[in-house]
Amino acid sequence: MSNILYITASIRPDSESISRGLGQRLVDGLAATSGAAVTTRHLAANDLPYVSAERFAANLTPAADRTAEQAQLAAIADTLIAELQAADTIVIASPIYNFGPPASLKAWADLVARAGTTFRYTATGPEGLLTGKRAYIAIASGGTPVGAEFDFMSRWLTFFLGFIGITDVAIVAADGIMGADGEAKIAAAQDAAQKLAA
Ligand SMILES: Cc1cc2nc3c(=O)[nH]c(=O)nc-3n(C[C@H](O)[C@H](O)[C@H](O)COP(=O)(O)O)c2cc1C
């Protein structure tokens, strides 16, 4: 392992975010054992654009063929994709918002899914191109249990990562923390994150 990409999506500061507390434990542990460099992408602080027809077309146009306007529109997706390509380990820390991912994480996915670059179409169906990487997902939720029928966050994110070729995925969750045993659940998840990263 030489490069860790750390993506966070909570709107809360470090001192309050449970998902980022888990994600940071994973990153610290993984970096300590491997000496890997860490690139951090805080999505909530970055105001990623939503994909539009123009941006989508620019993203799919080969760099050499883009107009100046298209080059500008595609620049952020180019950067996000380069971050993914350079990483051999990806840590994503995210809450569940309204039973799914935060909008910023969905915006990120809409930008990095680029046919011909991060996945491709084949005669037998789509094929992910970002192979040979490992991902860790750190999730926090107030009441939604990870893996529940109405958890569209972990299921979507795991499927999406697989779609772009990242099939080796481990999940650590502090879920349902608004309940009476919330503190114990957070402590158990922190412990699990530390062990997973060791
Ligand atoms: C806009 C918003 C929507 C939320 N929706 C859900 C939800 O659907 N299910 C749930 O269990 N918790 C929900 N929560 C609670 C968060 O998942 C919970 O507070 C979690 O700890 C947030 O992650 P963080 O601590 O990393 O910020 C929501 C919180 C916010 C701010």
Predicted TM-score (pTM) of the model is: 0.97
Predicted local confidence at residue 1, as pLDDT: 75
* Centre of ligand 1 from the C-alpha of residue 123, in Å: 40
Predicted local confidence at residue 65, as pLDDT: 97
pLDDT digits (tens, 9 = 90+) for 102-126: 999 999 999 999 999 999 999 999 9
Q: Does residue 47 register a pLDDT over 90?
A: no
CA proximity to 9, closest of 125, 134, 103: 103
Predicted local confidence at residue 81, as pLDDT: 98
pLDDT digits (tens, 9 = 90+) for 88-104: 999 999 999 999 999 99
Closest Cα to atom 19 of ligand 1: 142
Local structure of 130: helix, strand or coil: coil
**Among 91, 141, 152, which residue has the most ligand 1 atoms within 8 Å of its CB, making it the best to mutate?**
141
| Beta-sheet pairing, 125-128 with 119-122 | antiparallel
**Among 92, 98, 152, which residue has the most ligand 1 atoms within 8 Å of its CB, making it the best to mutate?**
98
Please name the residue that has the structure tokens 């309050």: 16
Predicted local confidence at residue 84, as pLDDT: 98
pLDDT digits (tens, 9 = 90+) for 151-198: 999 999 999 999 999 999 999 999 999 989 999 999 999 999 999 999
Q: Does residue 15 register a pLDDT over 90?
A: yes
Binned at pLDDT 50, 70 and 90, residue 46 comes out as confident
Q: What's the CA gap between 133 and 124, in Å, rounded?
A: 23
Predicted local confidence at residue 33, as pLDDT: 93
**H helices of the chain, where?**
18-34, 53-60, 68-86, 103-112, 154-163, 182-197
Q: What's the CA gap between 79 and 111, in Å, rounded?
A: 10
- Which ligand 1 atom lies nearest to the CA of residue 11? 27
Q: What's the CA gap between 121 and 123, in Å, rounded?
A: 7
Binned at pLDDT 50, 70 and 90, residue 138 comes out as very high
